[in-house]
Structure 1
Amino acid sequence: MKLKIVTGVLMTLAMMSTAYAATCPTISVSHSQDGEDLTFVSARLKDKNTANSVVICRYEGKNDLGVSAGYRNGTPVKATGSDWKNDDCVTAGGDASKCAFKEKKK
């Protein structure tokens, strides 16, 4: 098995206002020999109606490489993208905008 070293995954996601939807960010990883951008594949809302809400973003890369990243805003969130089915969103082609979300107004 080839040893893969992920040297950095930086996730910066800021919601400017409740009026704007957010999406899962682009994630890049570095292997011992090269780097690659991962493809967004799905998202899931967990505890969406609480201040402990988290959006779990999932990504896939070449071979068996996969990454999950969690976004916590400290507020309830709601799904706004077109591909959401209940608390899950799966999209083809890496289009994270179809799994957009935003802060839920109280």
Structure 2
Amino acid sequence: MMKLKIVTGAVLGLTMMSTAYAATCPTISVTHAQGAEDVTFTSARLKDKDTANSVVICRYEGEADLGVSAGYRNDTPVQATGSNWNGDECATKDGDARKCAFK
């Protein structure tokens, strides 16, 4: 019975932790005919943030005219937690995705 309580407590603790952490847009590398490069995070946008259909759209820029967008979908509502959010938009000039964190 004691083992069951410990396992239940650990699972409950992990469940609570998984919903409380802040996420950020991922680091992305792009491979193309001329080679490979890391693109720099520039901005994020929340779409349908109050619904289970919420999406965080992460935008990146690379050399020349290379641009990349990636969508982060978690099937739950999402809220902005980083320091650079202005409504549903967040931008940074230094590539620090933590300034556009969300949960």
**Which TM-score band (shorter chain)?**
0.7 to 0.9
Q: 1:16-71, CA deviations, whole angstroms, 9 ceiling, x for partnerless residues?
A: 71111000000000111210000000000000000000000000000000000001
- Aligned match of 1:31: 32
For the pair 1:85 / 2:82, whether they are aligned, the reply is no
Task: Considering fraction of residues, name the structure with more helix.
Answer: 2
1:1-106 to structure 2, matched below 5 A, reads 17-102=18-103
Give the share of equivalent positions with the same residue, in percent. 78
Letter in 2 for 1:44: R
The whole-number CA distance in structure 1 between the counterparts of 2:34 and 2:65 is 16
**Partners of 1:98 and 1:92 in 2: how far apart?**
10
Question: Alignment RMSD, CA only?
Answer: 0.9
Structure 1 unaligned blocks of 5 or more? 1-15
Aligned residues: 87
Name the aligned partner's letter for residue 78 of structure 1: Q
Q: Which residue identity does 1:19 align to in structure 2?
A: A
- Ranges in structure 2 where 5+ consecutive residues have no aligned partner: 1-16
TM-score (norm 2): 0.82
